[in-house]
């Protein structure tokens, strides 16, 4: 749900608070699946994450017509089964890019104006304690300039979701209305448009607006507008289903606001993703994510005007802890140390930390997942792939 340099556990939340390749028409799989020479740095960065404590890493790189599948570590701490590059995993906040894409498609179709007030579509939902949906636009939801409190940081939600209490609440079902209500019982962080702060509340509201505009759930719209047209066979919106489809690895967390070396590790693979909703509930795999972000940046999902809107970023305030430098409409811009910029999103949820990015032309894409939420550095993997020494 939340996004950070590495983990969500709850430390990552607090710090930022912010398939197998099919044979028909599939890219060729490059040799060197355990590193080779082209991706040796990327493999080394993945290995370093495992050495730092991440149980395992699963990755794919799509560069032109070739695909490199990379892995490190294990997918199951009990059996020691290695990770697979084709694992499915919870993608957390990458869900936001899918939701934003749907809303931008609806804008292109003339069904919504992103400068509409939230109140136009969700009357009375954002009201109270200084919150006013008449003053917040749909666009401000998508670029996190709404000022709305991040419901994930509500003390009760934080305790139930990111401490050992999670084990009692992992199968709880939340409605979008409940999640928004948790946010609006807090005062906004700033007036709409007067700042930037990452808030999962924004995208819960965005998903609700998709349903108001279309008469169908955000899950159905993502499926019919993105998943099916692109053939993303490993991608799904699980709604309240707590299991992970196969193939997949186990997901692990220390369930601590301040995870310590040597602390107990819990298997958190099964959970009810309604607590993340349209801000972070989706499941995918690295190959699908590469196809999605490549198609998006390559102009296959949005008209040029809407893609330009999506890439119009708000600068991320210094000291926010975010590894990205700008945030557009459901899209992060990462300016790397070598001067290369890549576009995509991070995604964290209990037991899972992931990144998926691509170049501006959509031709060189990387997606990977850590199946632990307390260690490792996702940014170092990006740097190794796009800024090789």
Question: pLDDT of 59-113, one tens digit each?
Answer: 999 999 899 999 999 999 999 999 999 999 999 999 999 999 999 999 999 999 9
- Residue 36: its pLDDT value, please? 54
Q: How far apart are the first and last CA of the chain?
A: 32
Tell whether pTM > 0.85: yes
- Residue 292: its pLDDT value, please? 98
Q: Collapse the DSSP code of 208 into the 3-class scheme (helix H, G, I; strand E, B; otherwise coil) and give the result.
A: helix
- Residue 1: its pLDDT value, please? 57
- Residue 262: its pLDDT value, please? 87
Confidence of residue 14 (pLDDT cuts 50, 70, 90): very low
Q: Is there a domain that residue 101 lies in?
A: yes
Is the pLDDT at 31 greater than 70, yes or no?
no
- 117-129 mean pLDDT: 98
| Residues designated as active site | 93
Q: Among candidates 348, 185, 173, 373, which has minimal Cα distance to 277?
A: 173
Q: Is there a domain that residue 3 lies in?
A: no
**Parent domain of 290:** 11-386
Q: Is there a domain that residue 1 lies in?
A: no
Q: Among candidates 34, 45, 29, which has minimal Cα distance to 383?
A: 45
How far apart, in whole angstroms, are the C-alpha atoms of residue 160 and residue 58? 28
Is the pLDDT at 37 greater than 90, yes or no?
no
Query: What one-character-per-residue DSSP string does 38-70 give?
Result: TTHHHHHHHHHHHHTT-SEEEEEEEETTEEEEE
Q: Is there a domain that residue 281 lies in?
A: yes
What is the domain count for the chain? 1
Q: Is there a domain that residue 195 lies in?
A: yes
Confidence of residue 261 (pLDDT cuts 50, 70, 90): confident
Q: What is the CATH number of the domain that holds 215?
A: 3.40.710.10
Question: pLDDT of 131-144, one tens digit each?
Answer: 999 999 999 999 99
Q: Provide, rounded to the nearest whole percent, the portion of the chain with pLDDT above 90.
A: 86
Q: Is there a domain that residue 4 lies in?
A: no
Is the pLDDT at 22 greater than 50, yes or no?
no
């Amino acid at each position: 749900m939340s996004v950070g340099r590495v983990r969500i556990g709850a430390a990552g939340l607090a710090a930022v608070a912010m398939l197998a390749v099919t044979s028909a028409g599939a890219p060729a799989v490059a040799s060197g699946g355990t590193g080779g020479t082209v991706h040796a740095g990327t493999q080394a960065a993945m290995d370093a994450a495992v050495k730092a404590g991440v149980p395992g890493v699963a990755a794919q790189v799509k560069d032109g017509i070739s695909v490199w599948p990379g892995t490190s570590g294990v997918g199951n701490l009990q059996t020691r089964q290695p990770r697979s590059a084709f694992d499915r995993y919870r993608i957390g906040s990458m869900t936001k890019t899918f939701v934003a894409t749907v809303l931008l498609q609806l804008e292109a179709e003339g069904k919504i104006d992103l400068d509409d007030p939230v109140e136009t579509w969700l009357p009375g939902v954002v009201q109270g304690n200084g919150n006013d949906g008449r003053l917040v636009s749909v666009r401000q939801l998508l670029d996190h300039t709404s000022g709305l409190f991040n419901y994930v940081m509500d003390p009760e939600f934080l305790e139930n979701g990111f401490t050992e209490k999670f084990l009692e609440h992992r199968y709880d079902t939340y409605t979008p209305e409940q999640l928004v209500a948790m946010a609006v019982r807090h005062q906004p962080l700033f007036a709409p448009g007067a700042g930037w702060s990452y808030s999962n509340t924004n995208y819960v509201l965005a998903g609700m607006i998709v349903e108001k505009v279309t008469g169908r759930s955000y899950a159905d719209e993502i499926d019919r507008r993105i998943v099916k047209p692109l053939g993303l066979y490993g991608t799904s919106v699980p709604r309240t289903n707590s299991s992970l489809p196969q193939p997949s690895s186990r997901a692990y967390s220390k369930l601590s606001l301040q995870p310590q070396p040597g602390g107990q590790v819990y298997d958190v693979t099964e959970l009810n993703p309604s607590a993340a909703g349209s801000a972070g509930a989706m499941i995918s795999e690295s190959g699908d994510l590469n196809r999605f972000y490549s198609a998006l940046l390559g102009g296959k999902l949005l008209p040029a005007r809407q893609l330009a809107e999506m890439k119009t970023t708000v600068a991320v305030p210094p000291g926010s802890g975010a590894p990205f430098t700008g945030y557009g409409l459901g899209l992060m811009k990462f300016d790397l140390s070598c001067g290369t910029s890549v576009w995509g999103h991070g995604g964290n949820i209990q037991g899972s930390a992931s990144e998926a990015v691509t170049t501006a032309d959509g031709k060189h894409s990387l997606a990977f997942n850590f199946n632990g939420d307390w260690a490792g550095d996702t940014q170092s993997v990006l740097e190794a792939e796009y800024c090789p020494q």
